[in-house]
Structure 1
Amino acid sequence: MSESNQQVYDNAANYYRSYKFAESIGERSKGLKRGYFRKKLGRAALITVGVLVGAGVVGGIMNGIGFWGVMISAGLIAGGVWAAMKFPKMKIPTPETLVQSDLKTLAGKTEIWLETQRLALPKPAVKIINDIGTQLDMLSPQLQKLDEAEPAAYEVRKLMGEHLPELISGYRAIPEPMRRKSNDTGKSPDEQLISGLSLIEKEISGVTQQIAKGDIDNLSIRGRYLELKYDKTGEAE
């Protein structure tokens, strides 16, 4: 990942972390965030129980912990709960990790990554992103039918971890004033982005139907139509 792309990703990730329960685009991402929050609650509960047990042991040995013992215990509980709920922060998926994700969590992680991109996209594209979230929710149960080593699993990961991120990252690399200007193709980068996202949404729907019908052996992502990369002038390569 280049330095400029890394900075873009870091900015998006920082925003997402500060907006932890931003509106999810799908149930799968919501489920992953809810599960992570519950783990934090579990750690906070363990810390609370640990301090109380420790205070009880000390009190039994010393025949009570007194006022300051109570205050210290309360401080330890408060500090421990604060730390457990704040750290570690939820890791935001990257295109690199999406390609390597297991099929059970792939849809949810893709949704989380898409949620970090919404602020940088035009409103029509954001609507399609939300629609893609719906399609990913429908695809997720079908992915359970795939073996991790099957060629179809590779095709799905490539769609989520390569084609989709390349389309959005290519768009974001274009200077904002140039995004609405038509290029040699007769379309502006905004229009190309919307067209590409619409195509990916349809492709996800098609993959869902193919897997549901058991047509896994013939599953093929039309990558040649999805490899929409942009150079800095906003022209399609």
Structure 2
Amino acid sequence: MSRLTMGNIIKAVLAILFSVFVAFYVLLIGLSAKNKKLIIEGAIYAVIFSIAFSLPGDSGAFAGVGSMAVSAVRTFMLRDIWLPRRNQNPKHVTVVQQSAPMHAYHPTAVPAQPVPAPPSFPGAQDDLSTSLTWVNAQAKQNKHRLPADTYVTILETCQMLDSAIDAERRQPSGDARFKYELEAMVREYLPSVLRGYLAIPPSMVGSRQPNGRTPNEELAEQLSLLQGQAEALHGTRHQQTSSDLTTTGNFLRERFGHHQPDGFDFGIK
């Protein structure tokens, strides 16, 4: 889905024209999304930038430029909120209820039994990114129905999962357990939680259930658990990528590090 829409172009042009106020962008994004965490984060950047002018010497300039740089990076990371992609029509995707339980991913744990096949999901032959596209489209389409914090949580979770999927596509890890947990997260757990919440009438999302919790509270807690799982998968996958690169580097240093500049070594002794 493309971001090249008239609204996004106008926003991007305005962001560039007023880039001197980039330290306030995260605060504006948080206010627009009604996300408390982003509002607090953005307020910190804005306060640091504001008081930087009163600091003596180079310390003020360093604080001001630093707050602008960090805010600019965070603004880019949050582009799915203020520069949303065109919504893809989700009608072609049919989702069914799944019953498999969610298990935390522990990279050091080795299952005693063979890893079961990934849970079934309509369109199982599709790329995993298609499932994330559906979740993104549903979240954006129902943005005003979702509690403010949960909307951002869904986008950030999708972003981490998409990064893990991209790394796995580029260089498969060969870890069957990791692949199972990633596919379960993308094709089952995350869509099921979102679908279940959206099936509840808006007038009932604040009503207490027999367990004493409201659907809004349940959604926030379940998405928090899923975000933690996504962080674990994302961190594990990229740590392995870094480890693989180090292993390759060690091999190359061992293999070619002794070469002389005036000769060639083809490994023939």
* TM-score in terms of structure 1 length: 0.46
Q: More helix per residue: 1 or 2?
A: 1
With a CA cutoff of 8 Å and minimum separation of 6, indicate the structure with the bigger relative contact order: 1
TM-score by length of 2: 0.41
